[in-house]
Chains A and B, each alone.
Chain A
Amino acid sequence: MEIRFNILRTNRTVKAQYMQSIIYTIEDENATVATALSLMNETAGLKDVDGNAVTPIVWECSCLQKKCGACAMVINDHPALACSVRLRELKKPEVTLKPLMKFPVVEDLMVDRTILFENLREMKIWLKNEARTEPVDYDMAYEGSRCLQCGCCLEVCPNFCPEGKFFGMASFVPTARLISEMKKEQREEIYKEYRKHIYEGCGKSLACRKVCPAGIDIEGLLVNSNAMAIWKRGKRKLTE
């Protein structure tokens, strides 16, 4: 496969941005964007289309199997995990890679996602006491434990901006676990955080659900959380 990669590169120190295009041939027919990035970085003397030397492309990865969220980036204008996008499934042999835009860029495709973790701290996402575990909570607790903190959902969310008080789905999913596991009498505080940082800012278009690489049932979690935190009703079982 011969593929043209257009990569938005950012210099670490002066933060100057430029687009670099590289034409690269890959044998492995199962190769993903992640494979391509590793291979290009291993290729000595790699040149871009203008004949300039390509310095190592900085990006983040870890698991290479869609389980850690490290490699999230904007691929052909959609936020996705580099290790999940297969090159042979591209519509044409060209792919544009950019860093996630809602976070400060460190270098090239690597961003600083600190805000994700600060928001969780701000919302006090931790259990204050022992979890209660009744069977009906199981699915919600499980789904609520699966967020990769990749940030893809925030990229497409029309309402999230890093400075705002609306924290988006990356903060909501772990909140849902707490809502499902906290003892009833202790939930008021987390409900308050939920209303302030999630419920009041969310337009419920569910654009986030479509891009979530973990396929988390965001809608189901929202319905249940609303039932409990807003309408003060019981929950229904999550859809499978």
Chain B
Amino acid sequence: MKRVNIIGAGLAGLSAAITLAEQGFACNLISLQNSERAQSVLAEGGINAALDFIDGGKDLPAEHYKDTMSGGCDLADPEAVRGLTCDAPEIVRGLAVLGVPFHMKDGKLVLRSFGGQKNKRTAYAKSSTGKVIVHALVDLVRKYESEGLVRRYPHHEFVRLLLSQNKGKAACDGVRIIDRHTGKMYDCSGVVVLATGGMNGLFPGMTTGTTSNSGDVTATVFAQGVYLSNLEMIQYHPTTIGISGKRLLVTEAARGEGGRLCVKRNGRWWYFMEEIYPELKNLMPRDVVSREMYNVVRRPDCEDQVYLDMTDLSDEIWKTKLPDMRKELIDYLGIDPKREMIPVEPGIHYFMAGIDVDIYHRTNVDKLYAAGECTSQYHGANRLGGNSMLGAIRGGNMAAKHIMKDTDWAKYIYAERMKEQENGKDISGKESAGEKRIIPKIDWEENIIEVTENNNDNETYLNAASPAFIKEEGQILLEGLGIIRSEGVMQEAYDKLAKLEKKADCCRENSRVMLGKAMLLSALFRKESRGAHFREDYPERKNEYKKMTLARLSEGQVLIQLKE
């Protein structure tokens, strides 16, 4: 019997595991840390879906689609976004049925405003939405775990894909992992789903995300021949604050609930977003807000610090909607946002960049799928707040569905369910109507086998990149891939990276440099401004670039083209 191997146990991985298990497909859920420690638990503000409003009004998936496409500056795959926005209401209602304590009133979900959206569309649980969703999904996975359908392998790290060539096309036969507690390595055979999150580790200490999403998985699979896309698109969230070791996010919900951005101009507070964008005001898409913030602090008549003013928010809001956030700001900054404005700056928050997948979440490699923030799906040139948890859950779900359709199912179905099927039930346990499927004999090969033979993975794949190397590369990438970019600055960063490459002395360092180069080259390739990619030297948006960039590695060379 084979198992699907899911790498990563955040929302995308959990969702894939649940979708498979519901249908009796067995999987391994492999992750560096337990789900409780995944970046998904950090999500605060909420998750989007077009739902009925409590006051009787109605939102439509078509509106959600329009906002998502235009927020992403028409770069996302329209078919994928249509699927995302159509499935969203069912996904969010499904979460409520699992007991996610969303804010409700009279049996209806209360929705909040988020950036770039004309309607209230974001379901939430105070400011810990990600945490409570992960909690509910983990509980559900536990049930499938007890049935033997899901096997959890926390503290196991991805080493590399096991690839073969099939009729001239690369195919994935499984994945090699290492137990970080015992140091033992294993090969897991079967389809692989990558759900390893964003590439925070390329920018150490400079993002709002977790330290465990090191970027190594994306770098390694890129070096192994997996295509990446949209690599120039990195989201700077407008409201972050530097704290020790990372950037602390002030959720967009702060502005959704009435927070306002301001700067001192000629000695008086200027609420610049409200003046420049009278319709969406402080809730313009994140790329726009970050750029305006970058610009105002450089104006001669303005001071150089932007503040978030939440002093007018009602007690009710502080109590029921943003209590966790307030506590966090008091803890980490010593500032009570109810009484004082807080100083904020744009900071790296989300990677629209990542593994290239089609609408079924297939990569260019056969039997290899990817979902969640590690992919470039759904968000185009700029992700809207509340769309990424949605994208992660839907991505895991789509990948799982396609695996079940595409794969030789008999090899994966869990034996107990097979027996039921022999007794005339279908794989989901219901009495099957109509003809019975013929059940082939399965041999009970274990899908996870310890790697004992001498192999050189110890030297080649396991040596971690050195902190100094990672830091230096991060600094170079930050310089090249800032909020405002230009040919000269990016080229300079590229040259520095080429120099750093000479210092690379392990496989992971090499792969990281390749990935960094691919990012810079993608950004250089896009000679226009669109969403998160803003170029001083090409400030206009150009129709000829209305496609994602695609990056691949060929004989050690990074090649960039527009995606067909």
Contacts and interface: CB of A to CB of B under 8 A. Distances in A.
Given A67-B41, A68-B41, A131-B99, A125 B139 contact: yes
Contacts of A141: 99, 101
A63 B10 CA distance: 13
Given A127-B99, A177-B135, A65 B42 contact: yes
Contact of A131 (B98, B131, B243, B244): B98
B363 interface: no
Interface in A20-35: 28, 30-32, 34-35
Interface in B128-150: 128, 131-132, 135-136, 139-140, 142-143, 145-146
A70 B248 CA distance: 17
A227 B210 CA distance: 39
A70 B33 contact: yes
A148 interface: yes
Nearest to A141: B101
Given A142-B101, A177-B99, A240-B319, A65 B131 contact: no
Nearest to A138: B101
B143 A126 contact: yes
Interface stretch (A38-46, A199-207, A228-236): A38-46
A149 B34 CA distance: 9
A63 B131 contact: no
B429 to A, nearest CB: 14
Interface residues of A, number: 55
B33 A64 contact: no
B104 interface: yes
B181 to A, nearest CB: 5
Contact of B37 (A62, A125, A135): A62
Given A42-B471, A120-B142, A126-B143, A35 B132 contact: no
Contacts of A77: none
B210 A63 contact: yes
A145 B181 contact: no
B230 interface: no
B104 A142 contact: no
Nearest to B102: A133
Contacts, number: 139
A63 B42 contact: yes
B37 A174 contact: no
A64 B211 contact: yes
B301 interface: no
B245 interface: yes
A48 B183 CA distance: 27
Interface string B361-388: 0000000000000000000000000000
Contact of B104 (A28, A42, A138, A240): A138
A68 B210 contact: yes
A127 B183 CA distance: 35
Contact of A62 (B96, B210, B243, B468): B210
Contacts of B248: 65
Contacts of A42: 467-468, 471
B425 interface: no
B35 to A, nearest CB: 9
B36 A63 contact: no
B142 A121 contact: yes
For chain B, which range describes its interface: under 10, 10 to 19, 20 to 34, or 35 or more residues?
A: 35 or more
B126 interface: yes
Contact of B245 (A34, A66, A70, A127): A34
A68 B143 CA distance: 22
A62 B139 CA distance: 21
Nearest to A106: B181
B113 interface: no
A65 B37 contact: no
Given A42-B468, A131-B99, A142-B101, A174 B36 contact: no
Interface in B143-197: 143, 145-146, 152, 154-155, 180-181, 183
Contacts of B36: 68-69, 148-149
Contacts of B23: none
B141 to A, nearest CB: 8
Contacts of B183: 12
B264 interface: no
Contacts of A44: 468
B468 A117 contact: no
Contacts of A68: 33, 36-38, 41-42, 210
B239 interface: no
Given A64-B245, A124-B146, A146 B99 contact: no
Given A106-B181, A121-B142, A126-B139, A62 B33 contact: yes
Contact of A126 (B96, B100, B128, B142): B142
Contacts of A113: 34
A181 interface: yes
A133 B96 contact: yes
Contacts of B155: 112
Contact of A38 (B37, B152, B245): B245
Contacts of B211: 61-64
Interface of A: 12, 28, 30-32, 34-35, 38, 41-42, 44, 60-70, 83-84, 106, 112-114, 117, 120-121, 124-128, 130-131, 133, 135, 137-138, 141-142, 145-149, 174, 177-178, 181, 215, 240
Given A62-B212, A127-B99, A174-B139, 7 more contacts: A67-B131, A106-B181, A121-B145, A121-B146, A126-B142, A145-B131, A178-B139
11 contacts: A41-B467, A61-B212, A63-B42, A65-B42, A66-B328, A120-B142, A126-B146, A127-B99, A142-B101, A145-B135, A181-B99
